[in-house]
């Protein structure tokens, strides 16, 4: 969603809203602390409270979507109306991998039809251990032996 589209939604774009939106051009998934660290790193003076306020405003306007990838913190992603994907999330390093599988999508439709149910939206999040974390664990286990 570009800035003009967002303006067309009747959202007043403040300087802080613009810098937060721009981050989502480079990063697909971000939590409030990451946004804060990135903006402070860029020399933007912004409080966490402001970031949360902007994020909840964007969420209410359906500009971003909030995911529960981590137990203690929400992760946000831009809404891309014509693009659907699901996620694999590493519970050790929080790596997020996006995927799309038409067989899974079809299966969901079949399950819904079988239950006389119409799916309007879904997010499939698969939690596990990524290759890097898995091999690090494996190496340390081997060392113990």
From residue 59, give the alpha-carbon distance in Å to each of 9, 66, 132, 133, 144. 13, 7, 32, 32, 47
Whole-number Å distance between alpha carbons of 21 and 41 = 16
11-70: contacts with Zn ion (CB under 5 A): none
Q: Which stretch binds Zn ion (CB under 5 A): 32-40, 72-80, 110-118, 129-137?
A: 72-80
Residue nearest to Zn ion (CB): 86
Whole-number Å distance between alpha carbons of 2 and 35 = 19
> Is 64:1 a contact under the CB 8 Å cutoff?
no
Residue 109 engages Zn ion in binding (rule: CB under 5 A): no
Q: Which is nearer to Zn ion, 100 or 138 (CB)?
A: 100
Whole-number Å distance between alpha carbons of 65 and 72 = 17
**For residue 57, which of 8, 6, 23 has the smallest C-alpha distance?**
6
Residue 86 engages Zn ion in binding (rule: CB under 5 A): yes
Total number of residues that touch Zn ion (CB under 5 A): 4
CB atoms inside a 10 Å sphere around CB 64: 22
Q: Which is nearer to Zn ion, 59 or 86 (CB)?
A: 86
Q: Which of 22, 98, 111, 137 binds Zn ion (CB under 5 A)?
A: 98
Q: Which is nearer to Zn ion, 13 or 104 (CB)?
A: 104
Q: Which stretch binds Zn ion (CB under 5 A): 9-17, 54-62, 91-99, 129-137?
A: 91-99
Residues in touch with Zn ion (CB under 5 A): 77, 86, 98, 124
């Amino acid at each position: 969603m570009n800035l003009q589209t967002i303006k067309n939604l009747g959202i007043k774009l403040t300087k802080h809203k613009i810098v937060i939106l721009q981050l989502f051009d480079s990063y697909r998934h971000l939590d409030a602390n990451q946004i804060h660290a990135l903006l402070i790193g860029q020399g933007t003076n912004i409080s966490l409270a402001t970031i949360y306020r902007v994020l909840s405003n964007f969420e209410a306007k359906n500009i971003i979507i909030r995911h529960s990838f981590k137990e203690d913190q929400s992760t946000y992603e831009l809404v891309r109306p014509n693009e659907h994907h699901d996620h694999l999330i590493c519970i050790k390093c929080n790596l997020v991998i996006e995927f799309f599988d038409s067989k899974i999508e079809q299966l969901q439709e079949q399950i819904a039809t079988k239950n006389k149910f119409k799916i309007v939206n879904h997010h499939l999040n698969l939690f596990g251990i990524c290759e890097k974390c898995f091999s690090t664990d494996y190496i340390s286990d081997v060392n113990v032996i």
